[in-house]
Amino acid sequence: MTRILVSEVGPRDGLQSIKQVMPLEAKKAWIAAEAAAGVQEIEVGSFVPPALLPQMADTAELVAFARTLPGLNVVALVPNAKGAARAVEAGVHGMSIPFSMSETHSIRNVRKDHPAMLAEIRAVAEIASAGGVHFAVGLSTAFGCTLEGAVSEDAVVHLAEAAAEAGAQEFSLSDTTGYADPAQVRRLIRKVRGAVGDMLTSLHLHNTRGLGLANALAGLDEGITTLDASLGGLGGCPYAPGASGNLVTEDLVLMLNAMGLDTGINLEKLLEVRTILRDALPDEPLYGFTPDAGPMLDYNERIAK
State the CATH number of the domain containing residue 230: 3.20.20.70
237 is catalytic: yes
Q: Which amino acid, one-letter code, is at 87?
A: A
The total domain count for the chain is 1
Whether 156 contacts 139, CB under 8 Å:
yes
Reply yes or no on whether the pLDDT at 2 is more than 90. Answer: no
The pLDDT assigned to 242 comes to: 47
Model pLDDT for residues 159-207, shown as the tens digit of each residue? 999 999 999 999 999 998 899 999 999 999 999 999 999 999 999 999 9
> What residue numbers bound the domain in which 148 lies?
5-303
| Tens-place pLDDT, residues 118-154 | 999 999 999 999 999 999 999 999 999 988 899 999 9
Element (H, E) at 272: helix 267-272
Q: Would the pLDDT of 109 be above 90?
A: no
Determine the pLDDT at residue 305. 64
Helix spans in 133-258 (H): 153-165, 182-196, 212-221, 249-258
Secondary structure class of 93 (helix, strand, coil): coil
pLDDT, tens digit, for every residue of 34-55? 999 999 999 999 999 998 899 9
The stretch 2-26 carries a mean pLDDT of: 94
Q: What are phi and psi of 241, to 5 degrees?
A: -55, 130
Dump pLDDT digits (tens) for 273-305: 999 999 999 998 899 999 999 999 999 999 966
Q: Are 232 and 274 in contact (CB under 8 A)?
A: yes
**CA 32 to CA 34: how far, in whole Å?**
6
Work out the pLDDT band at 236, boundaries 50, 70, 90: low
Mean pLDDT along residues 56-67: 98
Pairwise CA distance, residues 113 & 125, whole Å: 18
How confident is the model at residue 237, as a pLDDT? Answer: 52
* 73 closest CA partner among 36, 43, 32: 43
Average pLDDT, the chain: 94
Which of 92, 237, 265, 273 is flagged as catalytic? 237
> Is the pLDDT at 243 greater than 70, yes or no?
no
